[in-house]
Amino acid sequence: MTDRFAAVAALVDRSRRALYEFVRRQRRAVGRDEAAEGTGMSRGLAAFHLDKLVDAGLLTARFEAPPDQPRGRGRTPKLYEPVTDGLALTIPERRYDLIAEILADAVAEDPRHADEVAMRVAYRRGHDLGAELRPDRATRTEVAAALARLGFEPQDDGADVRLHNCPFHALAGRHTQLICGLNHRFISGIVEGLDAAGVEARLAPRPDACCVELRCDPPASPPPHGRSR
pLDDT above 50 for 229:
no
Q: Which own/partner pairs from 120-124 qualify as long-range (CB within 8 Å, at least 24 positions apart)? A: 120/185, 122/182, 122/183, 122/185, 122/186, 122/189, 123/185, 123/186, 123/188, 123/189, 123/192, 124/189
Q: Which of 82, 110, 133 is the last residue of a domain?
A: 82
Give the strands of the sheet with 59-63, arranged side by side: 30-31, 78-82, 59-63
Same structural domain, 206 and 157: yes
User: Alpha-carbon distance 161 to 155, whole Å?
Assistant: 5
Same structural domain, 67 and 134: no
- Could you give the 3-state DSSP secondary structure of residue 200? strand
pLDDT for the residue 84: 73
How many structural domains is the chain composed of? 2
**Phi, psi of 163, rounded to the nearest 5 degrees:** -105, 115
Same structural domain, 115 and 204: yes
pTM: 0.64
Point out the least confidently predicted range of 19-23, 48-52, 97-101, 215-219. 215-219
- Asked whether residue 222 is assigned to any structural domain, the reply reads no
Q: Which of 82, 109, 137 is the last residue of a domain?
A: 82
Using an 8 Å Cβ cutoff, are 75 and 131 in contact? no
The model's confidence at residue 1, banded by pLDDT at 50, 70 and 90, is: very low
Domain span at residue 45 reads 4-82
User: Alpha-carbon distance 138 to 148, whole Å?
Assistant: 15
Same structural domain, 122 and 209: yes
pLDDT for the residue 66: 62
Which amino acid type is present at position 188? S
pLDDT above 90 for 51:
yes
pLDDT for the residue 149: 85
C-alpha 63: how far from chain center? 27
Q: What percent of the chain has pLDDT over 70?
A: 84
pLDDT above 60 for 41:
yes
Query: Average pLDDT of the chain?
Result: 85
Same structural domain, 67 and 139: no
Same structural domain, 110 and 76: no
User: Alpha-carbon distance 2 to 217, whole Å?
Assistant: 33
- Asked whether residue 152 is assigned to any structural domain, the reply reads yes
Point out the least confidently predicted range of 57-66, 154-163, 220-229. 220-229
pLDDT for the residue 5: 62
Pick the residue with more confidence: 112 or 70?
A: 112
Per-residue pLDDT tens over the stretch 145-202: 889 888 899 998 878 899 999 999 889 888 999 999 999 999 999 999 998 888 999 9
pLDDT for the residue 47: 94
CATH code (residue 190): 3.30.1380
Number of H helices, E strands in the chain: 9, 7
Using an 8 Å Cβ cutoff, are 53 and 9 in contact? no
**What b/e readout covers 30-53, taking b as 16+ CB neighbours within 10 angstroms?**
bbbebbbebbebeeeebbebbebb
Pick the residue with more confidence: 229 or 45?
A: 45
pLDDT for the residue 170: 87
Per the omega criterion (within 30 degrees of 0), is the bond before 92 cis?
A: yes
pLDDT for the residue 50: 94
Same structural domain, 164 and 142: yes
CATH code (residue 31): 1.10.10.10
pLDDT above 60 for 18:
yes
pLDDT for the residue 69: 54
